[in-house]
Structure 1
Amino acid sequence: MKKWGLWLLVGVTSLGLVGCQSRGQAHQAAKKMTSSRSASASSSVTKPKTPKAKAAKSQTTKPVPAAPFKQIAQSTMGHLKGQNAVFIQTTAGQTLSWHNRSQKAASDIKLFILATVYRQVAAGKFDLAATYTLREADKVGGTGNLQAQAAGTRVTNRELLKDMMTVSDNTATNIIIREVGGLAAVNQEIKRLGATQTVLRRKMMDQKALAAGRDNETSARDLGNLLMKIWRHQLISRSADTAILKLMAANTNHTKLPKLVPASRQIYNKTGEFDTYGVENDAAIFARGKQAVVVVALSQNGELSQQIPAMNQLGKRVDAAVFH
C-alpha cells in the first residue's frame, strides 16, 4: 500500500507540475496575443494618417482652376474681328489656352531666334563679342535704327541682339538669322523646343516670300510655353535664361498688354505688329518677386482701334486676378 501510495503521490505531483507549466505557457501565449492585439490596434490608429498626409500634399500641388481667366479673355478679346487667341499661365499652375491656333507671328518670331542664339552661345558656336561689319545689302525697312547707319559700321553680335529685342530692329534680326545658320537652324531649335505651331519661313521684310504665301507663324500656346520655360530657367541655363529676361525687360514697347499694369510690376515682353494683315501681338511676363504670370495675345485680320484697348484691358485684368 505504501508503495502504491508513493507512486500515486508522485503522479499527482507530476500532473500538478505539468498543469502549472501548461497554465504558464497558456498565460505567456495569452500575453503574446494581447500584445499582438495591442500592436495591431495601435497600427490601425496610425494608418489613416498616411492617406490624410497624401491628400494634404495633393491639395497643395493641385493647379488652381483657370475659370476667371476664360471669362477675362472672352470679355476683352472675344468681341474683336478676325482671329484672336490668348494663353495665360501662372507660376501657381493656372493655365488657359483660349482659341489657340497657328497665326501670323510678326516680330514675336524673334523670341525663337533669340532662343536659337543662346543655345549656340551655350554650345560655344556663337560669340556675342564678335563684330560684324554692316553692308548696304543688309538694310531692310520697317522697325529699327540700324538701316540708317552707314555701310561699314561695325557692331558686335551683342549689340545686334539688343537692337533686335529692344526696338525690334529688322536689319539686325536678318543678320542674326544668317549668323546662326539661316532659317533651318532656327527651325531646328523651334522643333527641339516642342513648338508645333511655330515656323520661320522668311526673313524680315521679305516681300517676295510674302507674295509667294510664305509667312512666319506661331501660336499663343507656343509663345506662352517658351516664356514660362525662360522664367523658370528651364530653357537653356540659368545664366542664358537670365540674359534673355534682361533683354526682354529692356523692350521699349509697353503699349499693349503691360500698358495698364502697375508700375511696380516687373515686365518682360516682346510685341509684334503687321498692319498689312491687321496683326497685333504681344507676349509678356508680369512678375512680382518670385510670383509671375505669362500672358500672350495674338490678333490678326483685326482693327487696331479695337485690338490695342482690348489688350490693355486683358493685361490689366489678368494682373489684378493674379496679384490682388
Structure 2
Amino acid sequence: MTVNIPGPGPGPVRGRITAAFTDAGTTGALCATDIDTGDTVALGADTPVSTASVHKLCLVATLYREAAAGRLDPAAPLDIPAEGRAPGPTGLAVMRDAARLSARDLASLAIAVSDNAAADVLWAYVGLDTVNATMRALGLTRTVAVHDQAALYATMLTDAGSGGPAALVDPAAVARLTVLDPARTNRSTPREMAALLRAVWRDEVCGGVWGDELRAVLGVQAWSHRLASGFPFDDVRVSGKTGSLPTQRHEAGVVEYPDGGRYAVAVFTRAASTAATLPAADAAVGRAARIAVDALRARPSH
C-alpha cells in the first residue's frame, strides 16, 4: 500500500520530500518501503533511472543467490592482474600490484568503497547475463545491467570528447553523456531497488547463512554523506550503496531501528549544477529519506 501521511511542518509528505530536493538544487525520485508491512512512501518511484554504482547491489545479491543455489563459490580465489583494471578513485582501482582475493572479499570492497576494479572482477565471475536473469526471477523486470564499470567509464570518456575526464563538469559535455540516459545504460527504478533490498532483508534472495552474510556485506559501506546523514543515531543501522554520475547522486539502502522497524529506501537525484562537489545535494538524499521513513514510522500501527 502506498501512503502519503502528513508530517510535521507544512504540506503532505511528498511535498516535503520535493522541497528537500528543490532546496538542494536537485530533482529527485524516491521509494521508501516498510520491509515488514509493505507500506510505501513514493515520489516518482516508477521513473527509470541510471543506477551507476547502485547496480553493485544487484551484482552482490546475485553472487549470494548463486552461492545459495550451489552454482558459485563466494570463497573462490580470483586473480586481479596489475594491468587493465577498471578506473576509479578507491580500492583495487588505485593499487599497483597483482592480487588474489575471494569473490566475497571483492564484494565487500565493491560495497565498502565502491571499488570499480573489484566489481568488474565480480562481473566477470558472476556474469552480466546471470545478474539480469536474477533480477527477472525476482520480478524486477526494469532492472537491467548493460555494461560493467570499465565499459561505463569508457562510454563516458568517449562521449566527453577531447576534453577527457576534466570535461565532465562542462555542461556541454555532460549533456552528451549517454550514461545519464536510463535507456542506454545500467538502469532500474526507485521502486525496484527498494524491492530488491526488501527481498534481501526478507530472505527472498537467499536465506540462512548466505542471507546473513549478504546483509553483513551490504552493511560495510564507508560513506555516510548521503543516506546515513539523515539518521545520525548510534542505535540506528544504515546499510546502503551509493551511485554517482555527473549531476547524479544516488543511494539505496536499509534503515534499521532498535525497536525492530526496517525500511528499504532508494533515492535518486539529479542536480542542476555540473559541479563535482555539492554537499547540499548529497545531504538531500538523507533528508528526503528521513522524511519518508518518519512518515512510515508515524503510522498508528507502528
Q: Note if 1:193 corresponds to 2:138.
A: yes
Deviation at 1:306, TM superposition (A): 4.2
| Cα distance change on mapping 1:71 and 1:242 into 2, 3 Å | farther
In the alignment, which residue of structure 2 is the partner of 1:264?
235
Normalised TM-score (structure 2)? 0.77
Residue identity in the other structure for 1:193: L
Higher RCO (C-alpha under 8 Å, 6+ residues apart) = 2
| Cα distance change on mapping 1:126 and 1:287 into 2, 3 Å | same
Question: Contact conserved, 1:202 with 1:215, CA < 8 A, in 2?
Answer: yes
Q: Note if 1:291 corresponds to 2:261.
A: yes
Question: Contact conserved, 2:39 with 2:296, CA < 8 A, in 1?
Answer: no
Normalised TM-score (structure 1)? 0.72
More displaced 10-residue stretch of structure 1: 71-80 or 245-254: 71-80
Residue identity in the other structure for 2:80: L
Unpaired stretches in structure 2, ≥5 consecutive residues: 7-12, 160-177, 179-183
Residue identity in the other structure for 1:87: C
More displaced 10-residue stretch of structure 1: 312-321 or 166-175: 312-321
In the alignment, which residue of structure 2 is the partner of 1:41?
none
Aligned residues: 259
Q: Note if 1:168 corresponds to 2:137.
A: no
Deviation at 1:319, TM superposition (A): 4.1
Deviation at 1:81, TM superposition (A): 5.5
Secondary structure of 1:294's aligned partner:
strand
Q: Note if 1:226 corresponds to 2:171.
A: no
Q: Note if 1:119 corresponds to 2:45.
A: no
Question: Contact conserved, 1:106 with 1:273, CA < 8 A, in 2?
Answer: yes
Secondary structure of 2:285's aligned partner:
helix
In the alignment, which residue of structure 2 is the partner of 1:97?
42
- Cα-to-partner distance string for 1:22-65 (whole Å, 9 max, x where unaligned): xxxxxxxxxxxxxxxxxxxxxxxxxxxxxxxxxxxxxxxxx584
Paired residues for 1:57-76 under 5 Å: 65-68=3-6, 69-76=13-20
- Cα-to-partner distance string for 1:131-181 (whole Å, 9 max, x where unaligned): 122113441221421123344322121211110111110000000000013
| Higher percent of residues as helix | 1
Deviation at 1:280, TM superposition (A): 0.3
Q: Note if 1:107 corresponds to 2:53.
A: yes
Question: Contact conserved, 1:258 with 1:316, CA < 8 A, in 2?
Answer: no
Question: Contact conserved, 1:64 with 1:92, CA < 8 A, in 2?
Answer: no
> For residues 133 and 65 of structure 1, what CA distance do their matches in structure 2 show?
48
In the alignment, which residue of structure 2 is the partner of 1:203?
148
Identity %: 21
Deviation at 1:297, TM superposition (A): 0.7
Paired residues for 1:242-321 under 5 Å: 242-261=212-231, 262-274=233-245, 276=246, 278-289=247-258, 290-303=260-273, 304-321=278-295
Question: Contact conserved, 2:32 with 2:265, CA < 8 A, in 1?
Answer: yes
> For residues 189 and 138 of structure 1, what CA distance do their matches in structure 2 show?
28
Secondary structure of 1:86's aligned partner:
strand
Deviation at 1:285, TM superposition (A): 1.1
Unpaired stretches in structure 1, ≥5 consecutive residues: 1-62
In the alignment, which residue of structure 1 is the partner of 2:93?
147
Deviation at 1:316, TM superposition (A): 3.2
Deviation at 1:80, TM superposition (A): 6.0
In the alignment, which residue of structure 2 is the partner of 1:241?
211
Question: Contact conserved, 2:29 with 2:268, CA < 8 A, in 1?
Answer: yes
| Cα distance change on mapping 1:310 and 1:139 into 2, 3 Å | same
Deviation at 1:313, TM superposition (A): 1.7
| Cα distance change on mapping 1:300 and 1:196 into 2, 3 Å | farther
In the alignment, which residue of structure 2 is the partner of 1:132?
78
